[in-house]
Chains A and B, each alone.
Chain A
Amino acid sequence: NIFRVLGDFSHLASIFILLHKIQQLKSCSGISFKSQVLYMLVYITRYLDLPWTSSPYNFIFKVLFISSELYIIYLMARAYKPTNDPNLDTFHVEFLLGFAGLLALLFPYKYTILEVFWAFSIWLESVAILPQLFMLQRTGEAEAMTAHYIAALGMYRALYIPNWIYRYFSEPTHKVDTIAVTAGILQTILYSDFFWIYYTKVMRGEKFKLP
C-alpha cells in the first residue's frame, strides 16, 4: 500500500541524501560511523532470506540497501576516513547490541536462526539511530543535508505505522507483526524530539541547531 511504498522510498532517499552529502562535501563530518555499522548489521541479519525473496520489489530494495550501506561504510572507513572524528562518535553500542540480542532471544516468533536474527535486526534498527542522535547532541548542530538524512530515515519507519494500521483494516488474513510494530513505534518515538527541531528550524530554512 501507499504508506509502505512511501516509507520504503523515504528510506532509499535517506541513503541517497547521505551518499550525496559525503560525496558532495567530500566529508563525513557529523555522521556517526557507529550508526552506519549498526545499519549494516541490521540489513545483513534481516535480509538473510534474500536468496528466496519472492517479491521483486522486496528483492530490489534489499539489494539496494545492502549495497549502498556497504558503499557508505567504505567511504567513511577508507575514502574519507580523515574526516571521521571517533572522539565525537562515542555512544556505547554494546548496550544497543545487548538490548536487541536479549529481546531477540527472549521473544522471537520461532526459535530458528532466521527468525531470531530477524527479531534481532528489528530491535537493533529501532535503536540504531541513537549514536547518530547522540553525536548530534554533542556537536549541537548539523549541516542541513545531515538533518534531511535523519528526517528521511525517521520518516521511513514512521510511515510504516499507518501501513500497519491500513493492513490491519484492509487485509482480513493479515496478522499483526507485533515485534515490528512495537519496535517501529519505539523507533519513531526516539526521533520525535529531532522531528520537532527539524520541523521548527529547517522548514524555516534555518540552520539545524539544538536549542
Chain B
Amino acid sequence: KKEEGGHDEL
C-alpha cells in the first residue's frame, strides 16, 4: 500500500 509522494494512509 505504498504511495509515491502522497500520503499512504486514509
A interface with B by C-beta (< 8 Å): 4, 8, 11, 46, 49, 52-55, 57-58, 61-62, 65, 114, 118, 160, 163, 177, 180
| Contact residues of A: prevailing secondary structure | helix
Nearest CB on A from B9, distance (A): 7
- Distance in angstroms between the alpha carbons of A4 and B8 in the assembled complex: 11
Q: Are B8 and A11 in contact (CB under 8 A)?
A: no
Nearest CB on B from A65, distance (A): 8
Q: B1 is contacted by which of A58, A65, A177, A180 (Cβ under 8 Å)?
A: A58
By a CB distance below 8 angstroms, the chain B residues around A49 are: 6-7
By a CB distance below 8 angstroms, the chain A residues around B9 are: 4, 160, 163, 177, 180
Nearest CB on B from A147, distance (A): 24
Nearest CB on B from A166, distance (A): 12
Q: Indicate the size class of the contact surface on chain B.
A: under 10
8 new A-B pairs (CB below 8 Å) besides A53-B6, A58-B8, A180-B7? A11-B10, A54-B2, A54-B3, A55-B1, A58-B1, A58-B10, A62-B10, A118-B7
Q: Are B3 and A8 in contact (CB under 8 A)?
A: no
By a CB distance below 8 angstroms, the chain A residues around B4 are: 54
Q: Are A61 and B1 in contact (CB under 8 A)?
A: no
Sampled A-B contacts (24; CB under 8 Å): A4-B9, A8-B10, A11-B10, A46-B10, A49-B6, A53-B3, A53-B6, A54-B3, A54-B4, A55-B1, A55-B2, A55-B3, A55-B8, A58-B1, A58-B8, A62-B10, A114-B6, A118-B7, A160-B9, A163-B9, A177-B7, A177-B9, A180-B7, A180-B9
